[in-house]
Structure 1
């Protein structure tokens, strides 16, 4: 049985976005008129117009009176909007509140061995937190690399996590970002569709079969992975931005 079909507008959006990023429509250029572009792409004008509006909203295009739609000089790239704690990402300007569910030290799991390159018997800090506004919005699980790895990456990291270890109102990424002090942090994230399951459903006060998005994230300082995380966002959670500026 074939999988779910993507909406034609989404496919069209991606075709035009890819054409912008590969230089077919370079920064500063003007797109062909709607009738001509619809003919070139072999699509209907209503579908094209909807895709173009989404591209404008996402910052890839600008409408200039008397000129038409032009490609922005610094077109945005798809991905997370920026590397920042999830509580800020989901609620810009008014971060979600963070409540600690568990703070512990654990041995590596398959997940942390893969993403943090943690050796057997390493001691990894583990924080599980509930993010909420008016209601529970996300469940976050974060693992930090062992102290010796953190200290090699940046001496402030291990100390900051130790000091914040009993805090119940902050995420691990928020602590590391505040302690980075000019050390550039980068991240890779993956997004998959799933359901909450019994345990996570109970924590988020939702039914076990509630659809959800699972975001996995690995944060690096230079080439050193310092944090691995899983974030579970159920149906009804605040929207997760999916654009990233250069």
Structure 2
């Protein structure tokens, strides 16, 4: 199934419109959103599209559902992105039992994404891991992670390079978990972004979801000093285990 731009547009645009309204104070922290019929009429959208956008906002930490009250805006709603460096498998579901299954462990040349975020020159070799995270036997996230080239890691974080070499190809940990374990005495910094999207055909097959399932896409870059050493994309479909959004001030 090919998902057109028109199919993508309603949920994604609604998500962004409501986020902007929250941060602009139209719906201040602690306030209750209008009922679905009223909000759909105010925004001029269909209720199914609105419901999907509201679910994404709830999973993204901006809204909470209170029995007998409705959807309320969380106090101090987080800015988009989370900056705490913590493996995704530890974050999902508030630290519940999450399994990491390796789908692919390989080396590849730079893509547009890794050229931009890892500053990888053409024809360099980047380690690439693709993993499926499951919680309570259900697919919770699809994670794609790239490490900087070997020569960059040897200069910026040789401990991470060694840890990657020692990690088995059938390992049960994410690349970020390996990095965190190798960085007890190495200061790291990170920048992440969160956007709304659809899972798409290929990722939908991996996650066991229809291609038009709404999802949260997280991009993340981790640095050792000023050097980017890991870049990642994490796809979390609606209905998966909750992901707390943590934000540094």
**Structure 1 unmatched runs, 5+:** 20-48, 59-75
**Structure 2 unmatched runs, 5+:** 1-5, 29-68
Q: Give the TM-score normalised by the residue count of structure 1.
A: 0.70
Q: Give the TM-score normalised by the residue count of structure 2.
A: 0.70
Which residue of 2 is the match for residue 98 of structure 1?
100
| 2:202 is the counterpart of 1:196 | no
**Equivalent residue of 1:91, what SS?**
helix
String of CA shifts for 1:158-193, please: whole Å, max 9, x gaps. Answer: 000010142421000000111012211111112221
Deviation at 1:118, TM superposition (A): 0.6
CA distance in 2, matches of 1:138, 1:175: 18
CA distance in 2, matches of 1:119, 1:100: 27
Which residue of 2 is the match for residue 233 of structure 1?
236
Deviation at 1:142, TM superposition (A): 0.3
Structure 2 CA distance for partners of 1:7 and 1:212, relative to 1, 3 Å:
closer
String of CA shifts for 1:65-114, please: whole Å, max 9, x gaps. Answer: xxxxxxxxxxx876416211111111333241100000001111111111
How many aligned residue pairs are there?
A: 199
Mean alpha-carbon deviation: is it higher for 223-232 or for 92-101? Answer: 92-101
Contact 1:77–1:243, Cα closer than 8 Å, also in 2? no
Q: 2:181 aligns with which of 160, 178, 183?
A: 178
Alignment RMSD (CA, Å)? 3.1
| 2:229 is the counterpart of 1:213 | no
CA distance in 1, matches of 2:91, 2:141: 12
Equivalent residue runs for 1:73-152 within 5 Å: 79-80=81-82, 82-134=84-136, 135-152=138-155
CA distance in 1, matches of 2:229, 2:146: 8
Structure 2 CA distance for partners of 1:50 and 1:203, relative to 1, 3 Å:
closer
| 2:75 is the counterpart of 1:55 | yes
CA distance in 2, matches of 1:166, 1:88: 21
CA distance in 2, matches of 1:122, 1:7: 36
